Amino acid sequence: MASPPPSTGPVRLVVLLSGSGTNLQALIDAIGDDPAAYGARIVAVGADRDKAGGLERAERAGIPTFVCKLKDHATRAEWDEALTAAIADHRPGLIVSAGFMKIVGPAFLAAFGGRFINTHPALLPSFPGAHGVRDALAHGVKVTGCTVHFVDDGVDTGPIIAQGVVEVTEEDTPEGEAALHERIKEVERSLLVEAVGRLARDGHRIEGRKVHLGHVGE
Ligand code: GRF
C-alpha cells in the first residue's frame, strides 16, 4: 500500500483526542504559521467528550472542533458512522489519534484505513491497550517508550512508523505511573511531530508490516 504522491499544498489533518491535548499542542506549535514548510495543517479537531482539554487548545488556535459521543448514539456502529461522517466533512489526507481513547469501527476503517495513525505510550507490540504505561511498569521492564503506528482493525496492532525509547529507573514504582507517563509524553510529542511531518512531506509505502518513509520509486 502506498501513499498518494505528495500533492500541492499542505496535507489536511484531522486530530482526534480525549484528553488534555499536549500532543495536539505539539503539532499546532510545529506547524506554527507555516503549514507549507511543515507539510500539513490541522483542519479540525474531534473528541468523544465535551470536557477534553484538547478542544480548548484547538479553539485557542482557531481550529474548528467537533464532538461525537458514543452515548449519543443507539449503537456503536451508528457512532462509528457519525464519527466517520464528521471527519469526512473536513476532507482529511491524514487522521491522527493523539490520545483518542476509543476503538474505531468498520465504517471508519473503510473510509480512512491506511490514513489513520495513532500514538501509543509503550513500545508495541508490547503493552497494547488503554493501560500501556501501567502494564509496562507492572511487568518490570527496564525500557519503555512510545510508538506511532497506522491503525488497523486490531488494538494497537498496525504497522509501526516510529518509536522512541524511555528508560525505566529504580525510582519508577508502580505508584509512579503518572510520572513515567509524563517522561514518555515528552518523547512522544517530538516523535509524533516528526512522524506526521515526514508522512505529509515525503509520503510512505508499506511492505508487509514495514513502513518505508520517503518518496516511492525514487
Ligand atoms: C498520550 O500518551 C497518548 O499516547 C495516550 O494518551 C496520552 C495523551 O496525551 N493514549 P495528551 O492528551 O496529548 O496530553
Q: What is the reported pLDDT for 217?
A: 53
Print pLDDT tens along the chain (218 aa).
Answer: 555 545 579 999 999 999 999 999 999 999 999 999 999 999 999 999 999 999 999 999 999 999 999 999 999 999 999 999 999 999 999 999 999 999 999 999 999 999 999 999 999 999 999 999 999 999 999 999 999 999 999 999 999 999 999 999 999 988 899 999 999 999 999 999 999 999 999 999 999 999 999 975 55
- Grid cell listed for 147: 510508538
Q: What is the reported pLDDT for 38?
A: 98
The DSSP secondary-structure symbol of 123 reads: -
Q: Assign domain 10-112 to its CATH superfamily.
A: Formyl transferase, N-terminal domain (3.40.50.170)
Q: What is the reported pLDDT for 218?
A: 53
**Cβ-based neighbours of 60, under 8 Å, separated by 6 or more:** none
- Grid cell listed for 85: 461522517
Taking the C-alpha atoms of residue 23 and residue 36, their distance in angstroms, rounded to an integer, is 20
Q: Where are the domains of the chain?
A: 10-112, 119-218
Q: What is the reported pLDDT for 174?
A: 84
Please give the distance, rounded to the nearest whole angstrom, from the Cα atom of residue 8 to the centre of ligand 1.
Answer: 31
Q: What is the reported pLDDT for 24?
A: 98
pTM of the entire structure? 0.95
| Mutation probe of ligand 1 site: the residue of 188, 189, 192, 196 with most atoms within 8 A of C-beta | 188
CB of 96 within 8 A of CB of 12? no
Written as one letter, the residue type at 184 is I
Taking the C-alpha atoms of residue 202 and residue 10, their distance in angstroms, rounded to an integer, is 12
Q: What is the reported pLDDT for 146?
A: 98
Closest ligand 1 atom number to CA of residue 101: 10
CB of 106 within 8 A of CB of 79? no
- Grid cell listed for 26: 505539539
Phi, psi dihedral angles at 134 (to 5 degrees):
-60, -45
CB of 129 within 8 A of CB of 165? no
Q: What is the reported pLDDT for 8?
A: 72
CATH topology for 119-218?
Answer: Rossmann fold (3.40.50)
| Mutation probe of ligand 1 site: the residue of 17, 22, 23 with most atoms within 8 A of C-beta | 23
